[in-house]
Structure 1
Amino acid sequence: MPDLSSLGAAIALYLAAINLLAFAAIALDKAKARASRRRIPEATLLRLALIGGSLGALVAQQVLRHKTRKEPFRSRLLAILAFHLLVLVALALALRLGSA
C-alpha cells in the first residue's frame, strides 16, 4: 500500500506547479495580446485549468484583468472550477466516511 503522506505531498506539489503554470500562461497570453503577437489558444488555457490549474487560472484572470468578459471562456473556466470543487468535496466526504 502506498504511503499516503508522500502521495499527498506529490499531489500538493503537482497542484502547485499546474496552478503556477496556468497563471503564467494567462500572463503570457495577456502580454502577447498587448504586443499584438500570436496568442495562446483558449483551448490550451482551458486544458491547463481542467488538469488542475483552475484556481491559478481564475486568480490570473482576476488579478491581470484578462479574459474577464470573454465568453464562453469565462463560463467554461467557472464550470471547471465548480467541477474541481465538487471533486474536492466528494474526496473529503469519502475520506471522512472511510475513517469513521
Structure 2
Amino acid sequence: MSIINKPLVLIGGYVVSINAGAAGLFFYDKKQAVQHKWRVPEKTLHLTGLLGGWIGGMWAMQAFKHKRSKQSFKNVYFTAVAANVGIVGASILIFKKFPQYIPNQLRTLFNLPRNQIIQQKPQFNQQPQKFQTIVEEEEIITNKKKRGGRKNKNN
C-alpha cells in the first residue's frame, strides 16, 4: 500500500501551482506597469482568483504593492474569491450529503469503494422490484383471506 495519498498530492499540487502562477502574474504585471509596457489583462488576474489562486494573488498585491488602490479591480477580484470559496464549499457539502452524485472519474481518483458506484445506477431498477414484491405479498394475504386465513386459537 502506498503511503502517498494521490488525491491529496493532486489537489495540493494544483493549489500550489495556481497560487504561484497568480503571484507570478501580479509580479509580471507590476514590472510591466513600471516600464510602461504591455500589461496582463485584469480579466486574467480575476480568473486566477476564481480558479483558486487568490491566496497567492492577495499576497502579491501586498508584497508588490500592486492593484491595492484600484477599488474597481478589488471589487471584482474579491467577488471572484467569494465565488471560488462558495463553489468549493458547496461542492464539498453536496458531495458529503449526496455521495451518489460524485462522478465515476472522481470516485476512482479518491479510491471510493466499488459497491458505491454499483449502487448508484440500479436505484431506478429497484423500484419495480419493490412494487412486484408488494403485489406478491398482497396476493398472498388475499389468498389467505379467501381460504379463511389462519385459525385463531381464541375463536
Does the pair score TM above 0.5? Answer: yes
Aligned to 1:52: 52
TM-score (norm 2): 0.53
Aligned to 2:77: 77
Aligned 8 A contact 1:58 1:77 in 2: no
Aligned to 1:68: 68
In angstroms, what is the RMSD of aligned CA positions? 2.0
Structure number with the bigger relative contact order (C-alpha 8 A, sep ≥ 6) is 1
TM-score (norm 1): 0.78
Question: Offset at 1:67?
Answer: 0.5
After superposition, where does 1:14-53 map in structure 2 within 5 Å?
14-53=14-53
Distance 2:12 2:18 in 1: 10
Distance 2:82 2:48 in 1: 15
Aligned 8 A contact 1:22 1:57 in 2: yes
Q: Percent identity between the aligned chains?
A: 28
Distance 1:8 1:93 in 2: 18
Aligned to 1:6: 6
Q: How many residues align?
A: 95
Amino acid aligned to 2:81: L
Distance 1:37 1:90 in 2: 40
Aligned 8 A contact 2:26 2:61 in 1: yes
Distance 1:48 1:85 in 2: 13
Aligned 8 A contact 2:49 2:84 in 1: no
* Unaligned stretches of 5+ residues in structure 2: 99-155
Segments of 4+ moved more than 6 angstroms: 95-98
Aligned 8 A contact 2:50 2:83 in 1: no
Secondary structure of the residue aligned to 1:52 is coil
* Unaligned stretches of 5+ residues in structure 1: none
Aligned 8 A contact 1:25 1:45 in 2: yes
Q: After superposing the two structures, state which structure 1 stretch, 86-95 or 24-33, moved more.
A: 86-95
